[in-house]
Chains A and B, each alone.
Chain A
Amino acid sequence: MAGFASILPLCLRELTFAAGGRAIIRGVSARFDAGPATIILGANGAGKSVLMRLMHGLLAPSSGEVSWNGQGPARARRGQAMVFQRPVMLRRSALANVLYALELAGIHAPQRERQAMDALEEVGLAAVAQRPARVLSGGEQQRLALARAWALHPEVLFLDEPTANLDPGATREIEAVIRAFDASGTKIIMSTHNLGQARRLGDEVLCIHQGRLVERAPVEAFFAKPASVEAAAFIKGESPWA
């Protein structure tokens, strides 16, 4: 947003993470600039979710560093938002859920209502603003999660397999919103299993295998000719027509 310094680029330096005696992330280094939508691909258990949580600051690395434009993670909380695989809504109306996020972000009361309604309109949920969020369908709740993120106008939006639990119709709606985010200048960092989705939404791909970054390439190049063995095996395994 205009007015304060950008939190990008995001730099990961030799990140590791271990839990319960197991190493989950084994030394990942990468740099993310504004612009290209980044897709993180990898098999189950490869560490995608953990990596995203390390980037977003929900987990602290065992070693290594996460820095946002030279600052630590604490300073960069405001410019980020995250959408999870399962949307978590408070037992309030759809509108109230968005208002809650705005209140936490320190937006003043008079502006909150306007910004919240704008966000709901953006994702097509204005009609159900007063409905209790928890009675909405799975797809609607996920759209609501995106509206909640939209209202915050984040610089970076993390998405952890956002459509894994949704039917194709709902998936299309979610993808449309993600595209809108992208078009508005928000940096997208998303993990997914859906290769078609990766190609539709992504500009570049990061491939994670057993906690390591094995390949990073523009999306078309990656799918046409994956450079690493693991990536190739992954693509083959994920494609139903291999």
Chain B
Amino acid sequence: MPGTAEAVRGALGLIGAGDPVLAGIVALSLAVSLSAVALAALIGLPLGAAIAVGRFPGRRALIVLLNALMGLPPVVVGLLIYLLLSRAGPLGEMGLLFTPSAMVIAQTVLVLPIIAALCRQAVEDAWVEYEEQLRSLGAEGLRAALTLVWDIRFSLVTAVLAGLGRALAEVGAVMIVGGNIDGVTRVMTTTIALETSKGDLPLALSLGFILIALVVLLNAAAHLIKEAAQRRYG
């Protein structure tokens, strides 16, 4: 592929130069996506676990819906959140549009179904092993679900990582609700889109490689933590 070597060298050059604008963009990408994933996990893990353990009418339909929502198109989420936060919309008073907070909200909505659905699957599988013992001890419903979530926390790392990958990689949602404002709401993916549309493909590709490297690093770190913890706790 033409220009790949140049782009990789460009990427290393950008990192080495320690450009503060680039650093700001990377920092904002991480801040927005990590916050979104944290929020999504806070809501999604108990939600997924509760659905896994609970028995209520419409449960199966809810599971199908949750799985389907994993494929929510980011640009559609962006549009919906935009309409919500626009001054012309219901939450306009809060003045959240075109701020990093709006981006966090949009990415949380995007990532929540992923974490909840994958957690639901993992907890349901574990429930087979734990159900009788937990119920014998008197743990039911949400109590049992939360105990399970904590107990299988290492395998839930994968679910959270999947969410983080989605958040860091998406451009449609943050572009619309953030406005790609220079120095305020510009993140890695929107910068790559911008540079591509400006025709500066080498720069865009270099940024792309930096983003990929970042995601690989995060995954590797999480994997190592997971392994170490599994060795300790069994």
B151 touches A104 (CB 8 A): no
B130 touches A88 (CB 8 A): yes
B132 contacts which chain A residues (CB < 8 A)? 53, 58, 82, 84, 88
Binds A, one of B39-47, B133-141, B198-206, B218-226: B133-141
A200 contacts which chain B residues (CB < 8 A)? none
Interface residue B227 (Cβ < 8 Å from any Cβ of A): no
Of the candidates A58, A90, A133, the one having the most CB atoms from chain B within 10 angstroms of its own CB is A90
Total A residues in contact with B, Cβ cutoff 8 Å = 22
8 A-B interface contacts by CB (under 8 A): A56-B136, A78-B138, A81-B137, A88-B133, A91-B151, A104-B143, A134-B234, A148-B137
Instruction: Pick the residue among B129, B130, B136, B139 that contacts A58 (CB under 8 A).
Output: B136
Interface residue B55 (Cβ < 8 Å from any Cβ of A): no
A91 touches B234 (CB 8 A): yes
CB distance from A130 to the nearest CB of B (A): 12
Instruction: Pick the residue among A81, A91, A100, A132 that contacts B136 (CB under 8 A).
Output: A81
Instruction: Pick the residue among A53, A84, A88, A105 that contacts B138 (CB under 8 A).
Output: A105
Q: Using A53-B132, A58-B132, A90-B147 as known contacts, say yes or no to A101 and B137 having CB atoms under 8 A apart.
A: yes
Rounded to whole angstroms, the CA-CA distance of A148 and B134 in the bound complex is 12
Q: Using A58-B136, A104-B139 as known contacts, say yes or no to A88 and B129 having CB atoms under 8 A apart.
A: yes
CB distance from A204 to the nearest CB of B (A): 24
How many chain B residues sit at the interface, stated as a range, is 10 to 19
Which residues of B from 116 to 165 have beta carbons under 8 Å from A? Answer: 129-130, 132-139, 143, 147, 151-152
A58 contacts which chain B residues (CB < 8 A)? 132, 135-136
Rounded to whole angstroms, the CA-CA distance of A105 and B143 in the bound complex is 13
Of the candidates A84, A91, A101, A148, the one having the most CB atoms from chain B within 10 angstroms of its own CB is A91
Interface residue B233 (Cβ < 8 Å from any Cβ of A): yes
B133 contacts which chain A residues (CB < 8 A)? 84, 88
A132 touches B129 (CB 8 A): no
B234 contacts which chain A residues (CB < 8 A)? 91, 132-135
A75 contacts which chain B residues (CB < 8 A)? none
CB distance from A151 to the nearest CB of B (A): 11
A91 touches B139 (CB 8 A): no
Where chain B touches its partner, the secondary structure class is helix
A82 touches B136 (CB 8 A): yes
Interface residue A114 (Cβ < 8 Å from any Cβ of B): no
A91 contacts which chain B residues (CB < 8 A)? 151-152, 233-234
A104 contacts which chain B residues (CB < 8 A)? 137-139, 143
Interface residue A77 (Cβ < 8 Å from any Cβ of B): yes
Which residues of A from 53 to 76 have beta carbons under 8 Å from B? Answer: 53, 56, 58
Q: Which residue of A lies closest to B153 (CB)?
A: A91
Q: Using A91-B234, A135-B234 as known contacts, say yes or no to A77 and B151 having CB atoms under 8 A apart.
A: no
CB distance from B182 to the nearest CB of A (A): 47
Rounded to whole angstroms, the CA-CA distance of A164 and B138 in the bound complex is 25
Rounded to whole angstroms, the CA-CA distance of A80 and B147 in the bound complex is 21
CB distance from B144 to the nearest CB of A (A): 10
Which residues of B from 206 to 234 have beta carbons under 8 Å from A? Answer: 232-234
Q: Using A53-B132, A84-B132, A91-B151 as known contacts, say yes or no to A132 and B139 having CB atoms under 8 A apart.
A: no
Which residues of A from 99 to 152 have beta carbons under 8 Å from B? Answer: 100-101, 104-105, 132-135, 148
CB distance from A32 to the nearest CB of B (A): 18
A77 contacts which chain B residues (CB < 8 A)? 138
Pairs A-B, 7 closest by C-beta atoms: A134-B234, A88-B133, A135-B234, A82-B136, A91-B233, A104-B138, A132-B233
Rounded to whole angstroms, the CA-CA distance of A100 and B151 in the bound complex is 12
B147 contacts which chain A residues (CB < 8 A)? 90, 100
Rounded to whole angstroms, the CA-CA distance of A90 and B234 in the bound complex is 10
Rounded to whole angstroms, the CA-CA distance of A91 and B137 in the bound complex is 16
A90 contacts which chain B residues (CB < 8 A)? 147, 151
CB distance from B110 to the nearest CB of A (A): 30
Q: Using A53-B132, A84-B132 as known contacts, say yes or no to A132 and B137 having CB atoms under 8 A apart.
A: no
Instruction: Pick the residue among A84, A88, A134 that contacts B233 (CB under 8 A).
Output: A134
CB distance from B143 to the nearest CB of A (A): 8
Extra inter-chain contacts (18) besides given A88-B130, A104-B143, CB under 8 Å: A56-B136, A58-B132, A58-B135, A58-B136, A77-B138, A80-B136, A81-B137, A88-B129, A88-B134, A90-B147, A92-B151, A92-B233, A104-B139, A105-B137, A105-B138, A132-B234, A133-B234, A134-B233
